[in-house]
A and B are shown apart, each in its own frame.
Chain A
Amino acid sequence: MKKRVLSLLIAAALVIASLGVMGAAAAEGEQPTVKLLAQAQSFDMNEDIVAKMLYEATGLSVEYSNWNDEKALVLEISSGTEYDAVMLTANLFQQMKNAKALKDISGLLENHQDIKDAISEKGWYYVTEDGAVYGIPNVDDAVYTGGLGYREDIFAENDISADVETIDDFYNLLVEIKDKTGLIPLTGSSAVEAVIASGFGLSYDFVVDEETDEIKSWLRNPGMKEYLVWMNKVYNEGLIDIDWPVNNGDTINNKMSTGAAVMTYAAHWSPLNWVNALRESGDEDAYFDQIVPLADANGKRHIAVSNGVSNVWCVPATASDERTEYFLNVVASRLQEDVYWMFNDGYEGTHYYFDENHYPIPIQPIFNDDMKNGDKYQIGRNQYVHPFSWMARVHKTQVQWDAFYDANSKAAYYGFEGKPLTFASFPEYAEYYGALNTLCNDYFKQVIAGTESIDSYDDFVAEWEASGGVELEAAATEWYHANPGLVEMARESYSPYNSIFGYEIN
């Protein structure tokens, strides 16, 4: 009895309290707190200074939660969730969309021309199916993250030229480095090292076969077998790191920072720590430059860029129009030009200033302290602002900017190549792609390290086919024939950064 009375009282109190809150909100013309479920972060997204800056600027109250486990997320969404919107990886987005778990927001977007304009056409293609729009895409502009970073100082000291064109040039380079320095010429951990693979005519795992006009895996390309044989050869000859299959970020960082290795894959943010470490331990001139992908037999360099859609903010199918409208208000507020600048880069004069080329240059250390997590608050990317506001992040230090500039200016000269399956949305892709990718990487590393002989290549291809490879190729081809425009758009890869480097796309 007592308990029932108690729970009744609590319920009554809750109702009154919520009425009060709603009344207050209505009176001030504010909308209720929007509940967002983002990917896991190691900081509290509600407490970060950026969250406070955003609230001050927009007046919209947002509460962040974070998901960690994909299965738990799917359970949360499928069992009727309280969240107004969820941030999904591209892969999960496809699965959820195919399962009809996401809300079509095209109708509500009609009233938000600002959102539609701010996000690039490419992004909208990705989230649209039969006229229905299933989310707000975070579009990645085509950026070349980096090729092989090499020690410019060591090359100069030993009179080694980094001017390499073909795979044979590169082999000679490795031999020369080893003979002259005795160091590990090349370290890394990738099953397919893009710079080298390009020399064998490999770019992406699924490409359009020009002869048959079908989507084919790179396993069908004879270059793949040649690449593996070559890698195994240099591995056996000690020209690349003996630890190749077991390396990870930490071990590679260690080898580069101690100067044990001369060359490795270097994204533009990597060399900074290496250079600092090398200089502090007495290597005053330590510096890095970039080697971009090698030319294949036809003289073509395959410069793969990261572009497409990495994350999508989606509304669960169960959400009401009213709540969704609140969410879209938040999206719209964050896409406004001044707000977008503000939460990505901070305030001009405090966190950054503009240099003579009109790049935003961070003011340190306050930029790193305050704005470190700014990009995590993006809900959709403003296509007009993002390429420029993001420049602050690659300008964090001179070393990073040099690496970014070196790589992109060289790469842009040869022309970028976009991933044909960037906009893939067929169910087979979501189902097989990840597992097949792991299968390939595992096998490639086994061959490189010699625990698996290249003679088993045909057996491996058969296994790959049986694990869904055939289905994936067929479905991809079918999808390509139905949507040739999407593949065309993905491969064309317009990059807003081209203007920065002064090249036009080939």
Chain B
Amino acid sequence: MTVERRTMTLKEAKLSAKRSDRRQARYRLRRSLPLYVLLIPGLLMILVFHYLPMYGVVIGFKDYNIFAGANPIDAISVSPWVGLKFWNKLWIQSKFKQAITNTFIISAMKVVIGFPIPVILALMINEVRRTGTKRVLQTVMYLPHFISWVVVGALFMNLLGTSGIVNKIIVSMGGTTQKFFMDNKWFRWVLLLSSIWKESGWGTIVYLAAITGIDPALYEAARIDRANRFQQIWYVTLPGIAGTVVMMLILRLGGIMDAGFAQIQVMYNSTVYKSGDIIGTYVFREGLGKMNWSQGTIVGLFNSLINLILMFGGNYLSRRWTEKSIW
């Protein structure tokens, strides 16, 4: 008797839960309707400028000749299907594999070592009390972002070149001249250092904005608990921007396949291909003098796919571990 009653209630509960789920969904939908209206301009933008041209990816699976048809679009349908021909063509080239390895290594270095630096800088800047000093420091640190890689490259060449200041110091201290730009064991570090120098200050902006959102009452509470400055940073500021940090990291993962094309294109040379040639520079070099649209599309697709996997993976892990995610 009692058993029967209990199953009844369970059934009932499930049923009513389902009903209330549906009710809730209907409620959410009704509540969402006005928000959908706000989404319209954004959706239109991506529809027109991103999704409409998306069919261009079929070029990667055809032997595309832009002059084959009456116009380039017509040429897409006229060009013959070749399936995975260009995909396979990529993988028989040993230099492409080398470029992929380099891309991952350089990107990983930039994420592991380079990513935390703006966070630390932002925390440090936030601790400066004098408003004037703080503003000047902020302004100065974001200056390098505005200098193009061509100029930054020349600058680091002056600094780290064989007759640069660094080598003069090394030699005066009894060392031997290091060819930082021609030595595979140094080159990646040069890339890392210059990218940190150029972008770290700029990277602090997001975190500084996030810090402004922390409730000052939390700091007051911490002070009342006699927390010192380090403890305040650790227990109040850092948790306050953790969501932003995680989000920035996930977004960064979505850009792994570009290990810094603009930078490397300027700074590398043939003696450091083994350590510095990335997918972007390799494709650029190979593409010289020929117009292989299909091959280019395939490489783009490959990059997108890896970025997608990494970003979704990052988002998934973050949701599981930190309960923070982009979606």
Using a CB–CB cutoff of 8 Å, the interface residues on chain A facing chain B are 70-71, 74-75, 78-80, 91, 95, 99-101, 242-243, 245-246, 250-251, 260, 430-435, 437-438, 441-443, 445-446, 449, 451
Contacts and interface: CB of A to CB of B under 8 A. Distances in A.
Interface in B257-280: 269-274
Query: Is chain A's interface secondary structure helix, strand, loop, or mixed overall?
Result: helix
Contact of A445 (B65, B154, B161, B271): B271
Given A242-B179, A451-B182, A78 B75 contact: yes
Given A71-B291, A442-B270, A445-B271, 9 more contacts: A75-B72, A80-B71, A99-B65, A243-B162, A432-B290, A434-B290, A435-B289, A445-B269, A446-B273
A95 B287 CA distance: 14
20 contacts: A75-B66, A78-B66, A78-B71, A79-B71, A79-B72, A100-B67, A242-B162, A245-B271, A246-B271, A251-B157, A251-B161, A430-B289, A435-B285, A435-B287, A435-B289, A435-B290, A438-B285, A442-B273, A445-B271, A446-B271
A433 B184 CA distance: 29
A430 B161 CA distance: 37
Interface in B268-327: 269-274, 285-291, 293
Contacts of A100: 67
Interface residues of B, number: 30
A449 B157 CA distance: 17
Contacts of A80: 71
Contacts, number: 80
B86 interface: no
A443 B95 CA distance: 13
Nearest to B273: A442
Interface of B: 65-67, 71-72, 75, 154, 157, 161-163, 177, 179, 181-182, 184, 269-274, 285-291, 293
Nearest to B70: A80
B75 A451 contact: no
Nearest to A452: B271
Contacts of A251: 157, 161
A75 B181 CA distance: 38
B67 A101 contact: yes
Given A74-B291, A95-B291, A246 B71 contact: no
Contacts of A437: 288-289
B291 A70 contact: yes
Contact of B290 (A243, A430, A449, A451): A430
Contact of B182 (A246, A433, A435, A442): A246
A245 B182 contact: yes
Contacts of B179: 242
A262 to B, nearest CB: 16
A91 B291 CA distance: 11
A435 B288 contact: yes
A27 B68 CA distance: 42
A449 B271 contact: yes
Contacts of B182: 245-246, 449, 451
Nearest to B274: A451
B270 A445 contact: yes
Contacts of B75: 78
A434 B269 contact: no
Given A79-B72, A446-B271, A438 B157 contact: no
